[in-house]
Amino acid sequence: MYAIHDTETSCPGNHIPAMAVVSYAKIDDLRRSLPAPKAALMHRVEVTHYFPFPAETVFAAWLDQDTVGEWLFATPEGEMIEVALTPKVGGSYRIVERRADGDILHTGTYERIDAPHDLEFSFSVPHYDPGSVHVRIHIANVADGCNLTLTHEVEEQWLKPSTHGWQTILSNLETTLRHP
- Identify which has the larger pLDDT, 38 or 46: 46
Q: Roughly how many angstroms between the first and final C-alpha of the chain, as a whole number? A: 69
Evaluate if pTM is beyond 0.85.
Answer: no
Q: What is the pLDDT of residue 29?
A: 54
Q: What percent of the chain has pLDDT over 70?
A: 78
Q: Under a CB-based contact definition with an 8 Å cutoff, are residues 51 and 177 in contact? A: yes
Q: What is the pLDDT of residue 28?
A: 46
Q: What is the pLDDT of residue 95?
A: 98
Q: What percent of the chain has pLDDT over 90?
A: 72
Cα dihedral sign for 114, 119, 122, 124?
positive
d(CA 3, CA 129): 40
Element (H, E) at 50: strand 42-51
Q: What is the pLDDT of residue 30?
A: 46
d(CA 94, CA 24): 46
113: which residues sit within 8 A by CB, 6+ positions away? 63, 87, 88, 89, 119
Q: What is the pLDDT of residue 129?
A: 87
Looking at every residue in the chain, the average pLDDT score rounds to 85
